[in-house]
Chains A and B, each alone.
Chain A
Amino acid sequence: MSWWQRLSGRKQMEEQLDKEMRFHLDQHISELIAQGRNPQEAQREARLAIGGPEQVKENCRDARGTRWLEDLFQDVRFALRMLLKNPGFAAIALLTLALGSGATTVMFTVVDGVLLKPLPYPAPSRLVAMQEKTEQATRLGNLWAFAYPNYLDCKRASHSVEMAAWRETGGAIREPDRAEYVDSRQISADLFSVLQVPVEHGRAFTSDDDRRGAAPVMIISHEMWKRRFAESPSALGAQIVYAQESYTVVGILPAAFQLDGHSDVFTPLGQDPSPIMERRDRHPGLQVTGRLQPGVTLAQAQTELDLIARPLAKQYPDSNAGRTFIANSMRPDVGDVGSTLWLLLGAVTLVLLIACANVANLLLARAVSREREFAMRAALGARRGRLIRQCLTESAVLGISGGILGVFVAAVGIRPFVTFWPGNLPRAEEIQLDWRVLLFTLGISLLSGLFFGLAPALRIPSRNLEAVLRSGARSLTGRARRLLLVSAGILGRTLLRLASADPGLNIHNVLTARLNLPNSTLDTPARIRATWQDVLDHARRVPGVVSVATVDTIPMRDGNNQLQYSTTPPPAGATQLPMMLATSVSSDYLKVMDIPLLKGRFFDDHDRQGSENVAVIDDVLAKLAFGAQDPIGKQIWFPNTDTPYSSGSANPEAARVIGVVRHVQHWGPASDDQATVRAQFYYPFAQLADAYVRRWSDLMSVAVRTSTAPLALVDPLQKEIRGASGDRVFNQILTMEQIASDSLAQQHMLMLVFGIFAGLALLLACIGVYGVLAYLTSQRVSEIGVRMAVGATAGDVILLILRQSMGMIFAGVGVGIAGALVAGRLLEKFVAGVKSLEPGTFVLMIFVLVLAALFASYVPARRASRIDPMRALRQD
C-alpha cells in the first residue's frame, strides 16, 4: 500500500484498527471468563493487559510512518474550518496578505522579466557580445564597437566563435502618396542562424546577399507584415522602396523576435556602400555577437581572439596597434532601469513585511480567545511541539490562501503597472505571470505565513500576551511604514521641486523632430547645407510657426557632444583640458528655445564658412573660462584633433566669443547640478567643418516654436517639408514638454509607486492599530464598566483609550526615525535630484501617520464609551 493509499484510506484504516483492538479484547475476555472470572473482572484484566486500547491505537498510528502527513491533513482541514468560522478575521487577514503578496508579485514579475530572464534565444548562455579594446583609454573608455573590416577578419579567422553583426539605421519607406519613417537594422547574413531564430516565412539572407552590388533584399518584422500586408503570403516577393532603393521582401520574422529595441526592416549589412564600412579606424556602431562553438569555453574563445588580433595590429599599425578583441557573455541591455527596479522591490518587501506584522498581531489577539482551547488540548496530552506545529499549519494555510488571492491581485495589476511606466520599460514583452512567478509567490506566502505565525505559536503557553502584542504592534510595523511614508514624502517633494525648476528655456509650444534626409541629397556638403536651408525655409511658411531652427543635441534629450577647450592656444598633444557641451545650431535657435541672451549677439546669416569662426557661450562657461572678465571678443581654443570648425590647417583653431546666453539644464533638472560637464558652447551649423556635415546631418533635429498646440502642426509641417522627392520624413517627434517630463521619468515612477506603497502601508497600519486596540479594549470591558459606574463620562473613556494608543504611536515614531534616515540616504544615492532629508517632509509625514493612527483608534475608543456598565459588570 502506498502512503497515498494509506492517507486516502484513512477512515477505513481507523475502522480496521478499532475492529482489530476489539477482537483482541473480546478474545481475551472470553478466555478469562472461560477460566472462571466474572465478566466485569475479565474486562478489567484484559484492558490492563493491553495497557489502554487508545494508547495502543495511537502507537499503531505512529508506526505507520505517514503520521506527519495525516496530521498535516488534519491540521489543514482544521485551519480551513477555523477560517470559515471567523469570517471577519479571515477577511481582514486575507485582504492584508493579498495586498501585500499581490504588490510583491507584481514587482517580482517586472524584475524577473526585465532583469532576471535570460535572452529570448535558444541556449543564451552560449552567446557572447564582442568589442574592440584598446590599451590606452580615452575619455570615452577603452571599449569600441567593431570596425567592419576587423569584424570580417575576426569572423573569417575564428574557429571557436560563430560571429554575426548588426547595425542600427533607419530610413523612409516611400509610397505613391506618402512616406513613412521606419527603424531598421543592417544585419550580417548569419545573424539569425547565430541567434538560432529561424525566419517565420521565406528565407534568411545568404552570404550572396551580404555583399556590395547584390540585389537589394529585405526581411521584415512580423508587425510590419501585419500592418502593411495584412499577413498575406503575397508579401514575399513584394517590392518596397526603402531609402530610395527598391528592395524585394524575402523573409518575415516571427512575432516574438527581439533584437535591440524596435525594428521593422532588416537589410544585408554587406550591401552598405558607404566608405566608412571599408575603414578600420571608423566605428560605425556595429554590434557583434557570437555563439561559442560546442565544447568551447569563453576563456578559450578569448585566447583565440587575442591570437587573431596580434597579426592585424602588425599589418595595420595605424588603426590596430594596441587593439585587441574581447568577448563577454551576452546580457540583455536594459540600461539603468535596474537600480530603480531593485529599489521598488525593496520597498514592496517592506509592504509585505507590514502585512505580515499586521496578521501576526491579529493572530496574537485571536490567540487569547483560543487560550482555553489550547489548554484543553495540552491537558488531553498534546505535546507543545505538536501544538506549535498546528499553529504554524494554520498560519501557513492563511499565508498560502493570501498568496493565491495575491496572484489574482497581481494578474489584474501587472498590465497597468507596465503601461504606466514612464518612457519605455526595456524588455516589457518578457514581463509575464509564469511558473517562475507563481513559484516565487507560493514561496513568499508560505514563508510569510510561517513568519507571522511564529510569534503567536511560540507564545504557547505563555501569560504576558499583552506585552507581546503592544511591542509587536509598534516595533516592526512602525518602522517599516514610516520608512515608506518618508520615502514617498521625500520623492514627492523632490518631484515638486524639480518640476517647478526652471530648465533655462521655455519648454512650452516647442516641437522637435529628427528628420531623415534621402541619400541622394547627401552627396556633397554643399548640397546638405542647402537641403537644411531649404527645410528651414519651407517650415517657416507653415501658419502657426513662430520660428524654426536646426540643432544637433536637444536639451534633456539623449545625446550630447563634449569637446575639450582652452583659453590659450593649447600645446600639441595636450590632454587634461576642461570639457564643454558643444551644440551646433542655426541662427534662430535662441528664439525657438526662448533662451535669454545676456550679452553681445547671437549668430546671424553672415556667420558662415569663410568668415571668422564665432561662438556663443553660456554664463557657466563664461565664468569657468574667463572669470570676472568680459568674455565678449575673447577666444576659445581647441586642440587640433577636437575642433568642429576646420580651415584645414594643422594649427589649433579658435572661435571668437560674440555672445553670452543663460545656462540651460542640458542634463535635466534632476541631474544638471551634479553633472561633470555643464559648460555650454554654441557654434553655427553654417561653420561646421565639411568633414562632419554628413554625420551631423544624420543627428540633426528641427526645433519649431509654435503659436498653437505644437502637435497640431506636425502634419502641416511634414507636408511642407517633404521635399521634391517626397521622402524627407520626421521621426522621434516630441514636444519640449514631453522631453522635460521624460527626463523626470524615474522620479515620477518612483514617486507614484512609493506613493501607492505608502498608501497601502498606511492602510495596513491602520488596520493593525485598529485590530490591536479593539482587542485591548475588549480586555478592559469590565474595568471600563467600573469606571463608568463610578461616574466616568463617555468622553473620559474615549480619552482613556486614545491616551493608550498615543503612547503606542509615539513610541513607534521614535523607533522609525532611524529607518527613515537610512531610506533617505538610499534614495539620495540612487535617484538623481533627491536632496537629503528635508525636515519639513519628515514632520509632515509623521503628522499624517499620527493622524491616521488616531483615526484608527477612534473606532474602538468610541465603542468602549458605549459600554453599558451594568452589563459589563455582570460579565464573567
Chain B
Amino acid sequence: MTVKSDLPQGTLDLLILKIVALGPVHGYAIAQRLQQVTRDVVQVPQGSLYPALHRLEYRGLLGADWKQTDTGREAKYYQLTKKGRGQLEAETADWRRLAEAIGLVLKLSEGGAR
C-alpha cells in the first residue's frame, strides 16, 4: 500500500474545478476521478468534497442541474460557469508559478547557493 499524503491547503477547489471543466459531472464521479487521476497518491476525504462543491456553487463558480444518469437515476450534475472558468485559469497559472519557483529552489545543488 502506497503512503498517501494530505492535499495541500486550497488545492481541493482547484482540482474540482479542473475535473468539472472536462464536462458536467456528478459528485460521486468527481470523487472517483480525483482518485484515478491522482493515482491514489492524494487522499481526498469524501466528507470534504461535498461542502467544497456547495461552497463553489454558492460562489457562482459552479452551476448545477439535476439530470438522469445512464442507469436512469437522478443525480446532481455540476458544470463550470464562465466565472468558474476564469477562476480555474487564474488558479492554474498561480499554481504553475508556485510549482516552478519551488522546483527552482529544489534544483539548487548543495553549496550552489551563495
Smallest Cβ distance from A64 to chain B, in angstroms?
Answer: 5
Instruction: Report B40-69 residues with CB < 8 Å from chain A CB.
Output: 45-48, 50-55, 58, 66
- Given contacts A19-B74, A23-B76, are A55 and B54 in contact (CB under 8 A)? no
Bound CA–CA A215/B58 (angstroms): 78
Kindly state whether residue B18 has any CB partner on chain A within 8 Å.
Answer: no
Interface string of A44-69 (1 = CB under 8 A from B): 00000111100110011011110000
Residue from the list B52, B74, B75, B76 in contact with A63, Cβ < 8 A = B52
- CB contacts (< 8 Å) of A201 on chain B: these are none
A23 near B26 with CB under 8 A, answer: yes
Best-buried of B31, B48, B54, B74 by chain A (most CB within 10 Å): B54
Kindly state whether residue B24 has any CB partner on chain A within 8 Å.
Answer: no
- CB contacts (< 8 Å) of B73 on chain A: these are 23, 26
B50 near A60 with CB under 8 A, answer: yes
B54 near A52 with CB under 8 A, answer: no
Smallest Cβ distance from B27 to chain A, in angstroms?
Answer: 6
- CB contacts (< 8 Å) of A51 on chain B: these are 45-47
Bound CA–CA A21/B52 (angstroms): 14
| A interface bracket (residues with beta carbon within 8 Å of B) | 20 to 34
Kindly state whether residue A153 has any CB partner on chain B within 8 Å.
Answer: no
B50 near A16 with CB under 8 A, answer: no
Bound CA–CA A19/B77 (angstroms): 12
A50 near B46 with CB under 8 A, answer: yes
- Given contacts A63-B52, A63-B54, A64-B54, are A24 and B47 in contact (CB under 8 A)? no
- CB contacts (< 8 Å) of A63 on chain B: these are 51-52, 54-55, 58
A20 near B50 with CB under 8 A, answer: yes
- CB contacts (< 8 Å) of A52 on chain B: these are 47
Interface string of A6-17 (1 = CB under 8 A from B): 000000000010
By beta carbon, the residue of chain B nearest A64 is B58
- CB contacts (< 8 Å) of A56 on chain B: these are 46-47, 50-51
Kindly state whether residue A793 has any CB partner on chain B within 8 Å.
Answer: no
Bound CA–CA A181/B39 (angstroms): 104
A59 near B47 with CB under 8 A, answer: yes
- CB contacts (< 8 Å) of B45 on chain A: these are 51
Kindly state whether residue A158 has any CB partner on chain B within 8 Å.
Answer: no
- CB contacts (< 8 Å) of B75 on chain A: these are 20, 23
B55 near A50 with CB under 8 A, answer: no
Bound CA–CA A65/B31 (angstroms): 23
Bound CA–CA A384/B67 (angstroms): 41
- Given contacts A20-B76, A63-B54, are A27 and B28 in contact (CB under 8 A)? yes
A59 near B51 with CB under 8 A, answer: yes
- CB contacts (< 8 Å) of B27 on chain A: these are 20, 23-24
B28 near A28 with CB under 8 A, answer: yes
Bound CA–CA A49/B66 (angstroms): 24
- CB contacts (< 8 Å) of B52 on chain A: these are 63
Bound CA–CA A49/B47 (angstroms): 8
Bound CA–CA A27/B31 (angstroms): 11
B58 near A65 with CB under 8 A, answer: yes
Best-buried of B26, B46, B52, B53 by chain A (most CB within 10 Å): B46
Smallest Cβ distance from B32 to chain A, in angstroms?
Answer: 9
Smallest Cβ distance from B55 to chain A, in angstroms?
Answer: 4
- Given contacts A27-B28, A63-B58, A64-B58, are A21 and B50 in contact (CB under 8 A)? yes
Bound CA–CA A64/B62 (angstroms): 13
A16 near B47 with CB under 8 A, answer: no
Bound CA–CA A52/B47 (angstroms): 8
By beta carbon, the residue of chain A nearest B29 is A27
Smallest Cβ distance from B24 to chain A, in angstroms?
Answer: 15
Smallest Cβ distance from B8 to chain A, in angstroms?
Answer: 20
By beta carbon, the residue of chain B nearest A20 is B76
Smallest Cβ distance from B12 to chain A, in angstroms?
Answer: 12
Bound CA–CA A353/B26 (angstroms): 57
- CB contacts (< 8 Å) of B47 on chain A: these are 50-52, 55-56, 59
- CB contacts (< 8 Å) of B53 on chain A: these are 60
Bound CA–CA A576/B34 (angstroms): 101
- CB contacts (< 8 Å) of A27 on chain B: these are 28
Residue from the list A28, A49, A60 in contact with B54, Cβ < 8 A = A60
- CB contacts (< 8 Å) of B54 on chain A: these are 60, 63-64
Smallest Cβ distance from B107 to chain A, in angstroms?
Answer: 38
- CB contacts (< 8 Å) of A19 on chain B: these are 74, 76
By beta carbon, the residue of chain A nearest B31 is A24
- Given contacts A51-B45, A51-B46, are A24 and B28 in contact (CB under 8 A)? yes
A23 near B51 with CB under 8 A, answer: no
By beta carbon, the residue of chain B nearest A49 is B46
Instruction: Report B12-35 residues with CB < 8 Å from chain A CB.
Output: 26-28, 31
Bound CA–CA A64/B52 (angstroms): 10
Bound CA–CA A56/B75 (angstroms): 17
By beta carbon, the residue of chain A nearest B55 is A63
Bound CA–CA A795/B87 (angstroms): 81
Bound CA–CA A23/B26 (angstroms): 10
A60 near B28 with CB under 8 A, answer: no
By beta carbon, the residue of chain A nearest B76 is A20
Bound CA–CA A26/B54 (angstroms): 20
Bound CA–CA A16/B77 (angstroms): 12
Interface string of A845-862 (1 = CB under 8 A from B): 000000000000000000
Smallest Cβ distance from B28 to chain A, in angstroms?
Answer: 4
A60 near B46 with CB under 8 A, answer: no
Q: Which 3 A-B pairs have the closest CB atoms?
A: A51-B47, A63-B55, A59-B51
Known pairs A56-B46, A56-B51, A59-B48. 17 more at Cβ < 8 A?
A19-B74, A21-B50, A28-B28, A50-B46, A51-B45, A59-B50, A60-B50, A60-B51, A60-B53, A62-B51, A63-B51, A63-B54, A63-B58, A64-B55, A64-B58, A65-B55, A65-B58
A-B contact pairs, 14 of them (CB 8 A): A20-B27, A20-B50, A20-B76, A23-B28, A24-B31, A50-B47, A52-B47, A56-B46, A56-B47, A59-B47, A59-B48, A59-B51, A60-B53, A60-B54
Give A contacts to B, CB under 8 Å. 16, 19-21, 23-24, 26-28, 49-52, 55-56, 59-60, 62-65
